Amino acid sequence: MATEWHRIIGVTHAPMGLARRDRLFDEHIRILGNRMVTQDWNEPLMVTITEGEVNAAIWSMARYMAPGLDQLPMDFFADCRRELAPWLAPQFDAILKGGAMLRTFKEGLIILLRKNRDSDNALDYRPITLLQSCCHVFAKMLTIRVQLGLQTLVRDTQQGFVKSRLLERSVTLMQAVLHERYNDTSEHADEAAAVILLDFMKEYDTLDRKFLLVLRNFGFAVDLVALIERRHDDTTARFAVNGELSTEVMIRSGIR
Q: Which domain range does residue 71 map to?
A: 2-155+203-251
> Tens of pLDDT along the chain (256 residues)?
788 888 889 988 887 887 888 888 888 888 888 888 988 889 999 999 999 999 999 999 999 889 999 999 999 999 999 999 999 999 999 999 999 999 999 999 999 888 877 888 888 888 899 999 999 999 999 999 998 888 778 888 888 888 888 888 888 988 888 888 888 878 776 777 777 877 776 777 888 888 887 888 889 999 999 999 999 999 999 999 888 999 999 999 988 7
- Domain annotation covers residue 139: yes
- Domain annotation covers residue 225: yes
Residue 117: CA atoms inside 13 Å, Cβ hemisphere, count? 0
- Domain annotation covers residue 189: no
- Domain annotation covers residue 176: no
What is the number of domains present in the chain? Answer: 1
Using alpha carbons, select from 211, 176, 175, 70 the residue that is nearest to residue 133: 70
With contact defined as beta carbons under 8 Å apart, do 122 and 5 qualify? yes
Could you give the C-alpha distances from 79 to 28, 49, 50, 55, 62, in angstroms and in order?
A: 51, 21, 19, 11, 12
- Domain annotation covers residue 22: yes
- Domain annotation covers residue 197: no
Q: Say how far apart CA 147 and CA 152 lie, in whole Å.
A: 10
With contact defined as beta carbons under 8 Å apart, do 54 and 88 qualify? yes
pLDDT value, residue 239: 95
pLDDT value, residue 55: 96
pLDDT value, residue 251: 94
- Domain annotation covers residue 94: yes
Q: Which amino acid belongs to residue 251? A: I
pLDDT value, residue 102: 92
pLDDT value, residue 93: 98
Q: Please give the angle made by the CA atoms of 63, 65 and 66, to the nearest 5 degrees.
A: 135
3-state secondary structure the chain: CHHHHHHHHCCCCCCCCHHHHHHHHHHHCCCCHHHCCCHHHHHHHCCCCCHHHHHHHHHCCCCCCCCCCCCCCHHHHHHCHHHHHHHHHHHHHHHHCCCCCCHHHHEEEEEEEECCCCCCCHHHEEEEEEECHHHHHHHHHHHHHHHHHHHHHCCCCCCCCCCCCCHHHHHHHHHHHHHHHHCCCCCCHHHCCCCCCCCCCCHHHHCCHHHHHHHHHHCCCHHHHHHHHHHCCCEEEEEEECCEECCCEEECCCCC
- Domain annotation covers residue 168: no
